[in-house]
Amino acid sequence: MVVVRRAALEIRREEDMVRVRRSVRQWADELGFGLVDQTKLVTAASELSRNALVHGGGGTVVFEALEDGPRRGLRLTFTDEGPGIPDVELALSDGYTTGSGLGFGLGGAKRLVNEFSIESRRGAGTRVVMTRWK
């Protein structure tokens, strides 16, 4: 598998989330994803950007266009230096929230992509990597 293109965006303010959504749409479109897949990627990215901003105090997202033989994919990596997630399993379950949300962000985003992983430790920030293949 090779990374054919890479770029990064900061997530520091609410307006940045709008920029992230726009960029994901554009990357997905350029990679040839159909409308439904584009919408899934944009929605998952919106959830993770908001988590990085609201729970993680801001962070970054790295975009990577992937090629694996004939397959093409988009990998998005969200990183923040926030408080971390003490219990990832619990955080992934639908309806679990420590804020005022619905608690569907993490579990929902996971359902919208093909590969999804969370690396997080209390006090050491959070990294979420997700990939959708065409």
Partner 1 sequence: MDRIPILKMGAFLLVTIQVDMHDRLAMALQDDLSNKIVETGARGVLIDISSLEMVDSFIGRMIANIASVARVLDAETVVVGMRPAVAITLVELGLSLHGVRTALDVERGMELLETALADGPR
Question: Where along the sequence are the contacts to partner 1 (CB under 8 A)?
Answer: 14-15, 17-18, 21-22, 25, 35-36, 38-40, 42-43, 46-47, 50, 94, 101-102, 104-105, 107-109, 111-112
Sign of the alpha-carbon torsion through 72, 112, 11, 21:
positive
Output the smallest distance, CB 123 to Mg ion, in A. 20
Q: How far apart are the first and last CA of the chain?
A: 14
Output the smallest distance, CB 31 to Mg ion, in A. 25
Output the smallest distance, CB 4 to partner 1, in A. 25
The Cα 111–Cα 13 span in angstroms is: 26
Three-state DSSP class for residue 69: coil
Find the angle CA(103)-CA(55)-CA(23) to the nearest 5 degrees. Answer: 90
Q: Among 42, 105, 128, 129, indicate the residue that binds Mg ion (CB under 5 A).
A: 105
| Interaction between residue 120 and Mg ion (CB under 5 A) | no
| Interaction between residue 62 and ligand ATP (CB under 6 A) | no
| Interaction between residue 51 and Mg ion (CB under 5 A) | yes
Evaluate whether 114 touches 97 at the Cβ level (below 8 Å). Answer: no
